[in-house]
Amino acid sequence: DAGVTQSPTHLIKTRGQHVTLRCSPISGHKSVSWYQQVLGQGPQFIFQYYEKEERGRGNFPDRFSARQFPNYSSELNVNALLLGDSALYLCASSLVVTPLADTQYFGPGTRLTVL
């Protein structure tokens, strides 16, 4: 069975640009979460979506947004990129959402570099 897949694997953008990252969950998983991992730190929670609705949001500015599609795949969008947005963006899927105790399975991540 395929695990969580993310695209692209690497991305280089310049300040002020917009970026869209994509994630496909494990088949049968209805919940998708997004995390930002800055070099040398642990992942930080950005969003969780379940059944196409936002179920949780971390402490990130409104420049960050996401959505989930009917097939449970998800997009993370970041507007007006800043240098500090350079990070590894991780997507995780799980069967259920409430509480956030279900095992999350992580994709390999998208490494975003903002110049």
- State the residues that interact with another protein by CB under 8 A: 3-4, 33, 35, 41-45, 56, 58, 90, 92, 99-101, 103-109
Q: Hey, is 85 helix, strand or coil?
A: helix
Minimum gap (Å) between residue 114 Cβ and another protein: 20
Minimum gap (Å) between residue 6 Cβ and another protein: 9
Minimum gap (Å) between residue 63 Cβ and another protein: 20
Pick 59 or 70: Cβ nearer another protein: 59
Pick 41 or 71: Cβ nearer another protein: 41
Q: Hey, is 3 helix, strand or coil?
A: coil
CA distance 92 to 74: 10
**Distance set, CA 108 to CA 2, 59, 60, 79, 83 (Å):** 12, 23, 22, 23, 22
